[in-house]
Amino acid sequence: MSANEISSWIIGIIVLLGAVLSLISAFGIIRLPDIYTRSHAATKASTLSVMCILTGAFLFFSIVEGLYSARILLGIVFVFITAPVGGHLISRAAYHSGVSLWDASVQDELNGKKQKQPSSSARESNNG
């Protein structure tokens, strides 16, 4: 086997791994019980899957075609930075808008803090 063929096999395996991770994340978002566990599944696994697939695309275009694409690298960095931030923001919005936790969850530390300082939303609006 030539070097090109071996590297394209490795790229195919990386891309297939990313697709399987994305499917696992989709099953997580359909099977898990409440929104916080669902955001756990959707944020982590799909971020790793998109980074695997973009790494495979970058390796393909750099080794096989001989083109070093900075746009794919920027895409990897951007997804890696922004996807956890988006998951954090939407979970925070869900908590503050009163979406309840799963029945079997036993620990809710933010609830105690909110009752100690009941005007948390007013404090936020004063700060912002």
> Are 11 and 59 in contact, with CB atoms under 8 Å apart?
yes
Question: Whole-number minimum distance, CB 118 to another protein, in Å?
Answer: 17
Among the listed residues 44, 62, 63, 90, the single contact to another protein using CB under 8 A? 90
Site string for another protein, 1-30 (x = CB under 8 A): -------xx-xxx-xx-xxx-xx-xxx-xx
Any contact of residue 97 with another protein (CB under 8 A)? yes
3-class DSSP state of 69: coil
- State the Cα torsion 22-56-68-79 to the nearest 10°: 20
Q: Which residues contact residue 72 at a Cβ distance below 8 angstroms, ignoring those fewer than 6 apart? A: 54, 57, 58, 61
Site string for another protein, 30-69 (x = CB under 8 A): x----x--xx--x---xx-xx--xx-xx--xx---x-x-x
**Residue 73 and residue 54: Cα distance in Å, rounded?**
8
Among the listed residues 1, 3, 71, 118, the single contact to another protein using CB under 8 A? 71
Question: Whole-number minimum distance, CB 117 to another protein, in Å?
Answer: 17
Cβ neighbours, 10 Å, residue 92: 11
Question: Whole-number minimum distance, CB 74 to another protein, in Å?
Answer: 6
